[in-house]
């Protein structure tokens, strides 16, 4: 397993890390068991956030008494210094620790710099020893590029998968040149990518630390298997990736959910990518009465536009929903998937 050093932080860990967003959907006992199995299997970096409901509490329970053996990153969506300190102290309490290895401003709309109260709060928290490194996450490429140019942050977390554009890949290279650690989120593009070996081989070609969102033991077992077998890019994997890119590139939803909630209760982050999901997973999973009812809610869309203002990828969500509904109805009528 390749080792990755996150820029100037000098944090060095295996290139195979645990994204703890999905564990908010399982019980505390199951989450603790999963996290400890990840550690026993070789993972050393665990990413969570204040926004992930009880994820921090579960990470804290899993690693209580062994804090020095793991690296933990967390995040705040605070927009004021008062909320920043409230979130940080809550995270420290829930994680059962007196420091967080990397604390990140979460899904920012712009690069916060010198003089901004959030960045100044970050510096003060580092000075106090409550955080060890200052990080930031973004979804918009322009914002991410501003962050790298600022040279103020030690790590950048940004979506990165084998669907990456040339501009995304250049961002990774720019981070390496700036000695800024790159944490790759959405390595499966919100579940659209299903070949873990191809995903792993792609990451292995870059100086990035992928955090795989894990909810089920079977998923974890797949990622842990790569500690036993070295996955490298081959012509066969390269051909597979190229074919997948041809099928998926364009206007597609990554399923991040920042568009939610919908004013008429549409499950946007699934319905807006139904055409891809129904073709990349067992179709029957998406043809249940539940999902038929969810998809038909698209007909209730009032074009309020709120989802568009929230989407970090600036998608035309109402029209994307309607395109998916047309395709879905054709599938229900017997169109082959």
Residue 169: what pLDDT? 97
Cβ contact 332:277 at 8 Å: no
Q: Taking Cα atoms as reference points, which of 196, 191, 207 lies closest to residue 156?
A: 207
> Which residues of the chain fall below pLDDT 50?
none
Residue 146: what pLDDT? 98
Angle between helices 55-63 and 81-94 (to 10 degrees): 40
Task: Report domain extents, the chain.
Answer: 3-234, 268-332
Residue 313: what pLDDT? 83
Q: pLDDT of 232-281, one tens digit each? A: 999 999 999 999 998 887 777 888 888 999 999 999 999 999 998 888 76
Calpha distance 250→245 (Å, rounded)? 9
Residue 247: what pLDDT? 82
- Number of neighbours of residue 235 by Cβ within 10 angstroms: 7
Q: Please state which CATH class domain 3-234 belongs to.
A: alpha beta
Calpha distance 62→40 (Å, rounded)? 12
Angle between helices 217-224 and 196-204 (to 10 degrees): 40
Q: pLDDT of 40-80, one tens digit each? A: 999 999 999 999 999 999 999 999 999 999 999 999 999 99
- Number of neighbours of residue 314 by Cβ within 10 angstroms: 10
Task: Give the pairing of strands 45-47 and 12-14.
Answer: unpaired
Terminal-to-terminal C-alpha distance of the chain? 37
Residue 258: what pLDDT? 87
Torsions phi, psi of 195, nearest 5?
A: -100, 100
């Amino acid at each position: 397993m390749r080792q990755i050093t996150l820029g100037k932080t000098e944090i060095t860990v295996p290139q195979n890390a645990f994204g703890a967003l999905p564990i908010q959907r399982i019980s505390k006992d199951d989450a603790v068991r999963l996290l400890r199995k990840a550690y026993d299997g070789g993972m050393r970096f665990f990413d969570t956030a204040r926004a992930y409901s009880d994820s921090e509490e579960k990470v804290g329970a899993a690693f209580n008494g062994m804090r020095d053996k793991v690296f933990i990153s967390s995040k705040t969506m605070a927009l004021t210094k008062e909320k920043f300190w409230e979130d940080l102290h809550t995270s420290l309490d829930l994680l059962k620790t007196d420091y967080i290895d990397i604390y990140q401003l979460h899904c920012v709309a712009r690069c916060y710099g010198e003089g901004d109260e959030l960045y100044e709060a970050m510096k003060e928290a580092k000075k106090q020893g409550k955080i060890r490194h200052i990080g930031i996450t973004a979804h918009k490429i322009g914002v991410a590029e501003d962050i790298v140019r600022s040279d103020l942050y030690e790590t950048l977390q940004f979506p990165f998968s084998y669907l990456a554009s040339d501009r995304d890949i250049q961002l990774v290279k720019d981070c390496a040149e700036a000695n800024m650690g790159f944490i790759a989120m959405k390595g499966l593009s919100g579940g659209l990518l299903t070949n873990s070996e191809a995903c792993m081989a792609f990451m292995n070609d870059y100086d990035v630390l992928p955090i795989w969102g894990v909810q089920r033991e079977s998923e974890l077992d797949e990622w842990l298997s790569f500690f036993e077998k070295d996955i490298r890019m081959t012509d066969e994997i390269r051909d597979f990736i190229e074919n997948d890119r041809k099928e998926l590139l364009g206007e597609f939803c990554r399923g991040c959910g920042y568009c939610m909630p919908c004013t008429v209760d549409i499950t946007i982050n699934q319905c807006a990518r139904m055409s891809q999901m129904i073709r990349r997973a067992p179709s029957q999973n998406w043809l249940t009465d539940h999902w038929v009812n969810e998809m038909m809610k698209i007909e209730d869309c009032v074009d309020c536009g709120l989802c568009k203002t929230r989407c970090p990828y600036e998608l035309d969500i109402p029209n994307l929903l309607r395109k998916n509904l047309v395709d879905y109805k054709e599938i229900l009528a017997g169109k082959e998937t």
